[in-house]
Structure 1
Amino acid sequence: MGTGKRGLLATAVAVVCAVTVLAAPGTAFAAPTPPPPPGTTASVTVVDGPDKELEAVRKKLDKLYRAAAVATEEYNAAEEKAKKQSAEIVRLAEKIVKGRERLDRLKERAGAAAAAHYRGGGLPPEARLVLSDSPQEFLDGAGRVRQGEHATKGLLGEMSRTQQDLEQYAQDADTQLKELEAGRKAKAKARKKIEKRIKAAEKVESELEEEEKERLARLEKRAADQAQAGWLSSGILDEVDGKATKQGRAAVAYATAQIGKPYQWGAEGPKTYDCSGLTSQAWMAAGRSMPRTSQAQWKQLERVDIEDMRPGDLIIYFDDASHVGMYVGDGIMVHAPRPGRSVTLAGAGSMPILGVVRPDAAAD
């Protein structure tokens, strides 16, 4: 990477962090470690001495919080599905009500037709011909009878179709209710997983002295900075120069305005967020409907090469697509990291990247 590019990166990060500090008093965000010179690879620091045990703790915490993140996205997926199923059940219930009202009206019409037929004596056409005063009167009456018979058949057919529709709506509603119940069980199972992992992580952290917690934070930052430096050392930013769309700028503005707000699993704002809650709400604020979970965002949104990403694009992390952040430019992304942390800026390469997706691909 050229010297000018690294200078641009450092300047951009410094400006964003300065704005962040002014916007959220008492909260500071460190810029990622600058990349190493071109042609070199990031060094891997060997942790030894008093930090060796803390490094093991860091890895254990990372594993626990990663497991909690996976369960959180499972919970979010079940929650999103439950919302859609509930809406579908309401829609079907409305159809059932309207169908029953229609069937009642058809029955009234059928009853009125039967009563009129009864008042006419219910005689067959041949008998009416014998009793009629003139052939013309008979022909007129026979025509009305045929019209009445056609109308009655049509009425009965309409009643039958309406009844069939009602039965189908009831079956569909029953299916949706069963799936909704299954979804509730899935949510409860995911919730237990989340709470178990977070509780275990909090227990590990609670056993640390304050000085150890400070050292642990430094180890976490070191690991993230090394990953970012390694990513930047490939010269990736020499290729990444995409310009944000109007909606992309709006999404970035929303996401960065949430910096400093706490992470909360399952949250979509406005006071707390989880990773996909932040990205989905940012794009919805920009006028784009969005899948709720990071896995759904990865599956459903258009994928782009890392070299082609632009501000507003979503970076999906880890092989299971269990984390997501929003690219803001110059090698930096904004994300909601994990329990115990707040929405913040971080190096786009500070975690293993699965790929990049674009919510506003239609704008290309």
Structure 2
Amino acid sequence: MRRILRAPGRRTAATVTLALALAAAAPQPARAEPGTLTEVRAELERLYHDAEVATNRYDAADEKVTAQVKRVHALRSRIGAAETRLGRLTSLAGAAARAQYRGDSLPAEMQFALSGNPERALDDASLVRQAQRATQGVLTALSATREDLGTRTEEAAAELKRLRASRRDRDTERRTIEKHIAEAKSLESRLEKKEVERIAALEKKEADDAQATWVGTGILDKVGTEATPAGRKAIAFATRQLGKPYVWGAEGPDSYDCSGLTSGAWLAAGHPIPRTSEEQWRLLKHVPVEKMRPGDLIIYFADASHVALYIGDGKIIQAPRPGRWVYVSPAASMEILGVVRPDA
């Protein structure tokens, strides 16, 4: 993702296409064409940005559903274990009652199950009665635990249902945005070669200007230059991905989106981190930009919708947007929100 230029109002791709057609058909002042191209670029970047935000929201919703499914399964497993134990103790309690009625000693299995010291036998009649009372207490407590687990499982299942509905909503939102992306790609495909080249030149000039301004502050004299061992592993992983295409929601190994690349790099370094750029910004340790070091993650834009891996010397490795590939670019070519450190 590049820095977003917002044209006045919210133009659709069709509106911008019409503007291009009109610009080509009608006489225009000499300075009008660059403005039109700037609007085209701004519209393309807006569409790509909105799609990345929608994809991040879907990925976050999907991650929550996956975690909740595991929680429900764990609770159901605990219920099964509680029911098995409850059935076994109920059977033992019945055996103990029958043994007392016959005047026999407590069954050996019951002695082992209830004794604080399994090596000692319960052969005294008073201990038999005490064991029976203890058994009833265990049964009562275990029944209460079973009921509590049942309630918690029902609540967890209801939450899972809600999360799945949220994921469906996010998926619908994503598909809508992807339709807009198709419009953007169609718009790009209709541009003449010289227009594509001029848009690329506008992008590069803005990125270079932003980087020069950033470097001019002396920031590179302050930031760290040495990565940690884990940071070096993350950088090495990201470097091996150079040239692979950007794909929405991709986590490798053949393609990546922005946070799929950074989470994959740090997983390879032995430090699992959240999947989305928003969660990486929310949950990882924040460090001042002037104290960042290679291996840290730079989060971009006010909504934390983009992330890249800082590799030192003012550069990042990033997966930018559809139609692009994983590549090295200037760290300040986009609006920096802040820096996070996965191995803090």
Q: TM-score, normalised by structure 2?
A: 0.80
Residues 1:308 and 2:291 are matched in the alignment: yes
Using the TM superposition, give the Cα deviation of residue 347 of structure 1 relative to its aligned residue in structure 2, in angstroms: 0.9
Q: Deviations over 1:182-213 (max 9, x none)?
A: 22222222222222223213213313234233
Contact 2:297/2:341 (8 A) holds in 1: yes
Contact 2:266/2:272 (8 A) holds in 1: yes
CA distance in 2, matches of 1:261, 1:188: 29
Question: What amino acid maps onto 2:255 in structure 1?
Answer: T
Residue in 1 aligned with 2:167? 187
Contact 1:301/1:358 (8 A) holds in 2: yes
Q: Which has the larger radius of gyration?
A: 1
Using the TM superposition, give the Cα deviation of residue 144 of structure 1 relative to its aligned residue in structure 2, in angstroms: 4.1
Residue in 1 aligned with 2:114? none
Q: Deviations over 1:22-49 (max 9, x none)?
A: xxxxxxxxxxxxxxxxxxxxxxxxx943
CA distance in 1, matches of 2:35, 2:136: 83
* Alignment equivalent of 1:67, drawn from 19, 26, 50: 50
Question: What amino acid maps onto 2:285 in structure 1?
Answer: E
CA distance in 2, matches of 1:191, 1:214: 34
Residues 1:276 and 2:249 are matched in the alignment: no
* Alignment equivalent of 2:191, drawn from 168, 193, 209: 209
Identity percentage of aligned residues: 47
CA distance in 1, matches of 2:136, 2:224: 68
Aligned pairs for 1:294-333 (under 5 A) are 294-333=277-316
Residue in 2 aligned with 1:35? none
Question: What amino acid maps onto 1:224 in structure 2?
Answer: A
Greater RCO (Cα-Cα under 8 Å, separation 6 or more): 1
118 and 241 in structure 1: CA distance in 2 versus 1, 3 angstrom threshold: closer
Contact 1:198/1:339 (8 A) holds in 2: no
Residues 1:118 and 2:98 are matched in the alignment: no
Question: What amino acid maps onto 1:112 in structure 2?
Answer: A
Contact 1:247/1:287 (8 A) holds in 2: yes
* Alignment equivalent of 1:245, drawn from 228, 236, 243: 228
Using the TM superposition, give the Cα deviation of residue 227 of structure 1 relative to its aligned residue in structure 2, in angstroms: 2.1
Question: What amino acid maps onto 2:321 in structure 1?
Answer: R
Match of 1:261, SS? coil
Contact 1:242/1:308 (8 A) holds in 2: no
- Which sections of structure 1, spanning at least 5 residues, go unmatched? 1-46, 122-142
CA distance in 2, matches of 1:247, 1:267: 23
* Alignment equivalent of 2:216, drawn from 215, 220, 233: 233
CA distance in 2, matches of 1:340, 1:114: 76
Residue in 2 aligned with 1:162? 142
Using the TM superposition, give the Cα deviation of residue 233 of structure 1 relative to its aligned residue in structure 2, in angstroms: 2.4
Alignment RMSD: 2.0
Contact 1:89/1:173 (8 A) holds in 2: yes
CA distance in 2, matches of 1:345, 1:152: 73
CA distance in 1, matches of 2:318, 2:55: 15
Residue in 1 aligned with 2:246? 263
Question: What amino acid maps onto 2:145 in structure 1?
Answer: D
Residues 1:292 and 2:272 are matched in the alignment: no
Question: What amino acid maps onto 1:335 in structure 2?
Answer: Q
Residue in 2 aligned with 1:133? none
Q: TM-score, normalised by structure 1?
A: 0.76
Residue in 1 aligned with 2:81? 98
CA distance in 2, matches of 1:174, 1:293: 29
Contact 2:224/2:294 (8 A) holds in 1: no
Using the TM superposition, give the Cα deviation of residue 50 of structure 1 relative to its aligned residue in structure 2, in angstroms: 2.1
98 and 340 in structure 1: CA distance in 2 versus 1, 3 angstrom threshold: same
- Which sections of structure 2, spanning at least 5 residues, go unmatched? 1-29, 105-122
